[in-house]
Structure 1
Amino acid sequence: MTAGTLVSRLLGFAKTMLLVTAIGVTVGGAADAFDVANKVPNNIYMLLAGGVLNAVLVPQLVRAAKRDDGGQDFTDRLLTLAIGLLLILTVAFTAAAGLMVRIYANSGTWSDEQLALATAFAYWCLPQIFFYGLYTLLGQVLNSRESFGPYMWAPVLNNVVAIAGIIAFILLFGPGPEGEHAVGTWTGGKIALLAGTATLGVVAQALILIWPLRRIGFSFRPRFGWRGVGLSIAGRVAGWTFAAVLVGQLGYIAVSQVASTATSGAQGDVSASNAAYSVSYLIFMLPHSLIAVSIATALFTPMSRNAAAGDVSAVRGSLTMGLRTVAIVNFLATACVLVLAPQIAYVVAGGSIAQAEAIGHVLQAMILGLVPFSSAYLLQRVYYAYEDARTPFLVQLPQVVITTALVLACLALPREWTVAGIGASMSLGYVFGATASALLLRRRLGGLGLAGIAGNHARLAVAAVGAAAAGWAVSLPLEPMLFAGRAGALGSIAIIGAVMALSYLVLTWLLRVGELRELGRAVAARLR
């Protein structure tokens, strides 16, 4: 799973770099128009289906597998209902493309021409809602049967298709990193090629999962009639999960609106914007996706099985192992990004040094929340394994209130620091969410061994600080090459990153972090 995610994320960075080459990132209005339009289907899908499907499907399918027919009838009816709802919602939101853009963009500061361009992009992008949902549905069926790899590898195809589309755009219409593709220059063909291939990638990502499903012997036949088949629990869990995601999306609207003000009337400056926020968030999510999502996905199925069987100690053991193992990677990633954020932004987004530094500040603020963000993600999966979506909602509500209040306060910051302030606000929200989730879950499971987990995290934090100091020391003599083109920046990242990783490994070994030795044995076994 980690290998598939790594390839997908690397291709995602390549796609981002090409997109920056095609339409820029902080200069002009086209980049933000496409960014908002392409994010709307992701956010709507997460609001209406993503979190719901992730919370409901695996526990329900694991429990249904104990039935005489192996859960086939239940699975067919659940998939039929979900696919039908996804189709209806996709049609409705595509018809309301203009409204969706105005919700996520700051229509008070965007010109009518920019809003119209974003709406045109959105008509092409919003059908992604259905295919993101189909991808999740089919992927969770695979996960419930412990076939994890295809779900993580499918996004590779998405990125390949999208990259091909961006390359075709550049070849046909030329690059425009400095605003050459201004808002008023976009034709129907340009819009269709850029946004259409983005959607085509999502279509391919969903449909490719049909092949591995057939290989494991899964078949699907639409079945209607949903009374008396055991969907009431799924409906209750889905309702609470939907409420939690709705609250989260309301908070994100505030983020998008505030970030939109950073470039208001600022053509040609280097203030971080919505597009820069997306680049930073993509980088922030890389370590989380590689390790936390992979481990949580692998643990979710057995945790759901053990929760159904009432084996609390097994659930607790899986969670503790997951938290400790994920933290090993996340503390190192936090240290590396704090030291190398401008260079990473320069490699991914290109542009000027000032632009890279602006994005780098956003990334540094975000990365401080990586450890609590991944921890909260793992803790949330335990609640879902017990078919409890109410508690995550009760945690999400105050977390979003706190984060949104801090985000709105960022309007008082100088424009060049607005989006960095948003990143810091999110990090503080993640700390609250992880802390509240852990304390409530400790009461439910009769203890989590929080003292041991805290000690483990403290040793890793010390090692991360030492690694950051080593990286900073090495960066001083390398200063001439830090921004010597993308090649120089990438070389400096490789050298400084290697020194930091080695320092971190030595320090964690000296600090007797046992999970590192277990992880080393697991990796060695996999390589053999």
Structure 2
Amino acid sequence: MSRMLRASAIMAAGTMVSRVTGFVRTMVLAYAIGTAALGDAYNAAYAIPYSILDLLLLGVLSSVVVPMIVRAQQHDADGGRAYEQRLLTLSTGALIVVAAIAVLAAPLLIDLYTVWDHGSREYDVAVTLARFILPQLAFFGVGAVAGAILNTRDRYGAPMWAPVVNNLVVICVFLLYAVAGPGNDISRVTTGDLALLGVGTTAGIVAQAAVLIVALRRAGFQFVPRFDLRNARLGEMGKAGVWTIGYVIVTQAGFMLTTNLASAAGDEVAGHGISPYTLAFQLFQLPYGVIGVSVITAMLPRMSRAVADGRFGDVRAEFGSSVRLVCALMVPVSLLLMVVGPAITVPIYGHGANSVADAVYIGNVLQVYGLALVPFAVFQLLLRVFYSFGDTRTPVFIGAGTTAVNAVLMVLFHLLLPARYAVMGLALAYTVAYGLGAVLAWWLAARRVQGLDGWAVGMAMTRMYLAALPTAVLALATVWVITTVFGGLDFLNSVIVLAIGGGLGMLLYLGVAHRMRIPEVNSIVGMVARRVGR
């Protein structure tokens, strides 16, 4: 537990700074281009590579690359050096080709992800932006492989801090646009304005990849291009990767349906389309990115080594410890998101080209996503059990079932709900689907390792929810008092709600959980206290 906490703390610190700068990035984005037509066009163009990159990071790297690098390090005479060089050579070439094809296919991709008519201003702007943004696929992919190699060497800092550089570059780009551009008026935006937004976005990813490559060199890795692909274990990689590609296809189909339904809603009600969905989803991912990804990144190599040695008891212990550690913070955060969602989004998005009402709607979507936080995190942890075995097939079937349920519910809610609630319906469908997906994944993973100590994990989570109830009550009372007395949420009122309901609420949770002697919370409190006392 202590070693995982230390590794997770290093990554969480970097990820926290990354997410904070990401907050500033989205604030500047909303301030500069808003969440109406231009914002939807930008987010549609950006969502395409972003979703692919997210899947590369959470799917291919986790399920194929990391376990194979670990095995090469354990069994190859050179400690896996030659294999890592072949892998980086292969990935660089392949991703350059993928990026080039994506740029050429930009109009088709926008067709797939939106319902906008050819020749409409939104469609043309989105295609132009996509052509400037899609080249980042190659740079992010190369950086991600470098990050995977660093992780297998227990070098977690650079992969978590590199996105900060990306965010700072993009923040500067959007500030420049906010000063020199035409704002959110899509009819006045020029090709030069779009080049600034698109190329600037790609420049951030280039800077991020450069940081990771430098960190890899400092870790002692010398990159020598290797084209002896006969020794690259492509057969083994292909056997594992074909299922991961299937997972990508399945989840991409679901994501395409999501963006199509969101763009249709945005056509009916301005400011209720792709942008609020994207911005709310990014905020929803923040706790998982800070807490869940940090734990998963530290957990997977150790689980892979335990599986390779046949130590199933260690796999169960590693998984149970990871779930409890993640949920110790996810549980109160999920309840707070459900209560104070609009108070979070108004200070971030209620400025410039975006109105307070637009920001409140983003917060309403975030409130629904709060329900999904714990099921989504547990779902992602469960997939790593299969990946540690080198099993990429089972996650495809789990993902297919989850996506199918999500798709059916999204269409159903889209047909039943008014357009102004359509994006909230997408978030609700996501919540239900991942809840059911987590149940299925747990059952299958428990069979694989002869049990996952479900009773112990369930009791621990129950105690966490009981400890978090006073926090939820305090936050709800704060929202009621502020909105009743002052008549609604503006910047100042939102800050008050966050300070009392969020800040004091989390302190209340830590205090109650400490009194209830929840071990994971005590470990976190103790680690923080020791670091503060230094």
TM-score, normalising length: structure 1: 0.94
User: Cα deviations across residues 121-176 of structure 1 (Å, max 9, x unaligned)?
Assistant: 011000011111111111001001100010000000000000000111112125x3
CA separation of 1:482 and 1:325: change in aligned 2, threshold 3 A:
farther
| TM-aligned CA deviation for residue 50 of structure 1 | 6.0
The answer as to 2:454 corresponding to 1:467 is no
Separation of aligned partners in 2, 1:245 and 1:482: 46
| TM-aligned CA deviation for residue 452 of structure 1 | 0.7
CA separation of 1:444 and 1:476: change in aligned 2, threshold 3 A:
same
The answer as to 2:244 corresponding to 1:241 is yes
Larger deviation, residues 200-209 vs 230-239 = 230-239
> 216, 225, 228: which is aligned to 1:225?
228
Separation of aligned partners in 1, 2:444 and 2:58: 24
> 375, 397, 401: which is aligned to 1:398?
401
Alignment of 1:23-34 (within 5 A): 23-25=33-35, 27=36, 29-34=37-42
Alignment of 1:283-322 (within 5 A): 283-322=283-322
| TM-aligned CA deviation for residue 498 of structure 1 | 2.2
The answer as to 2:452 corresponding to 1:448 is yes
CA separation of 1:151 and 1:59: change in aligned 2, threshold 3 A:
same
Alignment of 1:99-248 (within 5 A): 99-108=108-117, 112-173=120-181, 176=183, 181-248=184-251
8 Å contact kept, 1:361–1:420: yes
8 Å contact kept, 2:280–2:366: yes
Larger deviation, residues 417-426 vs 464-473 = 464-473
User: Cα deviations across residues 253-290 of structure 1 (Å, max 9, x unaligned)?
Assistant: 111111111121434xx5x2110011101110111011
8 Å contact kept, 2:346–2:489: no
| TM-aligned CA deviation for residue 6 of structure 1 | 0.8
CA separation of 1:481 and 1:463: change in aligned 2, threshold 3 A:
farther
Separation of aligned partners in 1, 2:56 and 2:453: 35
Gaps of 5+ in 1: none
Q: Which residue of 2 aligns with 1:419?
A: 423
Which amino acid in the other structure matches residue 216 of structure 2? L
8 Å contact kept, 1:61–1:144: yes
| TM-aligned CA deviation for residue 42 of structure 1 | 1.6
| TM-aligned CA deviation for residue 482 of structure 1 | 8.2
> 490, 500, 507: which is aligned to 1:502?
507
Separation of aligned partners in 2, 1:492 and 1:411: 32
Classify the secondary structure of the residue corresponding to 2:187. helix
Alignment root-mean-square deviation, CA = 1.8
8 Å contact kept, 2:276–2:362: yes
User: Cα deviations across residues 308-364 of structure 1 (Å, max 9, x unaligned)?
Assistant: 111111111111110001001111111111111111111121144432332222111
Q: Which residue of 2 aligns with 1:81?
A: 90
8 Å contact kept, 1:259–1:419: yes
> 484, 493, 498: which is aligned to 1:493?
498
> 6, 13, 18: which is aligned to 1:3?
13
Q: Which residue of 1 aligns with 2:442?
A: 438
| TM-aligned CA deviation for residue 440 of structure 1 | 0.8
Classify the secondary structure of the residue corresponding to 1:209. helix
Q: Percent of aligned positions with the same letter in both sequences?
A: 34
| TM-aligned CA deviation for residue 226 of structure 1 | 2.2
Separation of aligned partners in 2, 1:198 and 1:254: 25
Q: Which residue of 1 aligns with 2:518?
A: 513
Which amino acid in the other structure matches residue 297 of structure 1? T
Q: Which residue of 2 aligns with 1:323?
A: 323
Separation of aligned partners in 2, 1:394 and 1:266: 36
8 Å contact kept, 2:328–2:521: yes
Separation of aligned partners in 2, 1:54 and 1:212: 20
Runs of 4+ with >6 A deviation: none
Classify the secondary structure of the residue corresponding to 1:65. helix
Gaps of 5+ in 2: 1-10
Separation of aligned partners in 1, 2:93 and 2:57: 12
How many residue pairs end up in the alignment? Answer: 517
The answer as to 2:381 corresponding to 1:374 is no
8 Å contact kept, 1:406–1:425: yes
